[in-house]
Structure 1
Amino acid sequence: MSCEDDVVVIERSWAEPARFAEIYDRHAAHIQRYLARRVGAQAAEDALNETFLAAFGKRHRYDRARPDARPWLYGIATRVVGQHRRDEVREYRLRASLAPAEEVDGPADRVAAKVSAQATSAAVATGLTSLADGDRDVLLLIAWEGLSYEEVAAALAIPVGTVRSRLNRARRKVRAALGSEVRPLEELSNHG
């Protein structure tokens, strides 16, 4: 694999389409992880293929001022997820509606911890379901993928200020769904 910036590889793929495989090799694992979290492991493979097929088709319009293609690919992947959003929301609602499973065997502390984790998971799912699509996209790109505000802005083609306001709004709504279980979300305030 070459050590050229992504922009150089993409430009060279205009004349030699097979060169675009280097972009796939460099970034597919990151994009697939993100997609698996968004649409599930089974749908992630199809979504990954859709993402790279769309990226290949749009490679002539790639912003050559950006040496790293990953934010661009996250943006395409997020739009692919938009096509799967109804299923995603349905999954969050299903998780939120599931009652905590009762564990018969084992120490009381383990049962209490499991019930608490399941209740928190349901609250997070409810919180995610209540978010507007753009707010959810920003929150998940930052929380799951560790993107900076600037990278999220590039991925979603929105200003950094919009990223900040969407993240703030998403945090408030998820905090409200979680009640007192907000500690993991506090970590997001130090990111960016």
Structure 2
Amino acid sequence: MTTNVTASDSVDPSEMISDAALVELSRRSPERFGEIYDRYVREIHAYLGRRLDWQAADDLTAEVFLAAFRKRETFDPQRGTVRPWLYGFAGNVIALHRRAEARRLAALQRNAAAHDSTEHGHEERVVTRVDAGSAQGRLAAELRALSDGDRDVLLLSALGELSHEEVAQALDIPYGTVGSRLSRVRKKLRAALDGINPMLGGSDG
């Protein structure tokens, strides 16, 4: 199944209904949830494509929005905004494909020196930015060795460009945990690369 990632840009932003209001409206008029889809489909599709691959993203983007649609009654605007709520569903979809993701990183580690493709996931493209061929293998190994929680925090920050608060909402973890995990993971990756900065998610601050 191929996801249509074209969204309408014809609406004046000043006249747009808020995300939270749309979710509320969709509880009575389910078709209104399509407006949430239009607003966020490109962003969610891009995130899935970078975490997994673009073919998988075409299929899985629909699953993210279908899961959110089915769970729209559970959205609580008091706990956060719609954007990180959707990333939470994206994380669940990615978790179902964790084994395939790990296999890709293992293959990259074995073939780091020969890797020369632009059609793979973000982890692999990060590796190709490191100059030393030997460092590519080390970075792949470190990414693969991260816990699920650490990897999710890192990549939500680096790929989704979510704020610490949004990452906390997406993963349902305390705000302070986000900062401590990011700091720990970035230090670990730099140490594994002998000080080379893999440029994941900006500064530690």
Please classify the TM superposition score into its range, dividing by the shorter chain length: 0.7 to 0.9
Give the stretch that moved more between structures: 120-129 or 159-168. Answer: 120-129
Structure 1 residue 160 corresponds to structure 2 residue 160: no
TM-score (ref. length: structure 1) = 0.84
Structure 1 residues 67 and 82, CA gap change in structure 2 (3 angstroms): closer
The equivalences for 1:22-33 within 5 A come to 22-33=35-46
Structure 1 residues 5 and 121, CA gap change in structure 2 (3 angstroms): farther
Instruction: Write out the 4+ residue segments of structure 1 that deviate beyond 6 Å after TM superposition.
Output: none
CA distance in 2, matches of 1:186, 1:148: 10
CA distances 1:7-33 after superposition (whole Å, capped 9, x unpaired): 110111111111000000000111111
Greater Rg by CA: 1
Structure 1 residue 81 corresponds to structure 2 residue 79: no
Aligned to 1:9: 22
Structure 1 residue 145 corresponds to structure 2 residue 160: yes
> Structure 1 residue 172: deviation in Å?
2.8
Aligned to 1:172: 187
> Structure 1 residue 184: deviation in Å?
2.2
Unaligned runs of 5+ in 2: 1-10, 117-127
The CA RMSD measured in Å over matched residues stands at 2.5
> Structure 1 residue 175: deviation in Å?
2.0
> Structure 1 residue 82: deviation in Å?
0.5
Q: Is the 8 A contact 1:6 1:67 kept in 2?
A: no
The equivalences for 1:102-117 within 5 A come to 116=131
Structure 1 residues 186 and 159, CA gap change in structure 2 (3 angstroms): closer
Residue of 54, 57, 70 corresponding to 1:44? 57
Aligned to 1:128: 143
Aligned to 1:101: 114
Structure 1 residue 19 corresponds to structure 2 residue 67: no
Structure 1 residues 14 and 132, CA gap change in structure 2 (3 angstroms): same
Residue of 74, 86, 89 corresponding to 1:61? 74
> Structure 1 residue 3: deviation in Å?
0.4
Structure 1 residues 100 and 80, CA gap change in structure 2 (3 angstroms): same
- 2:33 maps to a residue whose letter is F
Unaligned runs of 5+ in 1: 104-112
CA distance in 2, matches of 1:172, 1:114: 18
CA distances 1:96-141 after superposition (whole Å, capped 9, x unpaired): 11042399xxxxxxxxx99936544433322210100000000001
CA distance in 2, matches of 1:139, 1:59: 27
CA distance in 1, matches of 2:142, 2:130: 18
Aligned to 2:47: 34
**Identity percentage over the alignment?**
46
CA distance in 1, matches of 2:115, 2:155: 30
Q: Is the 8 A contact 1:7 1:66 kept in 2?
A: no
TM-score (ref. length: structure 2) = 0.79
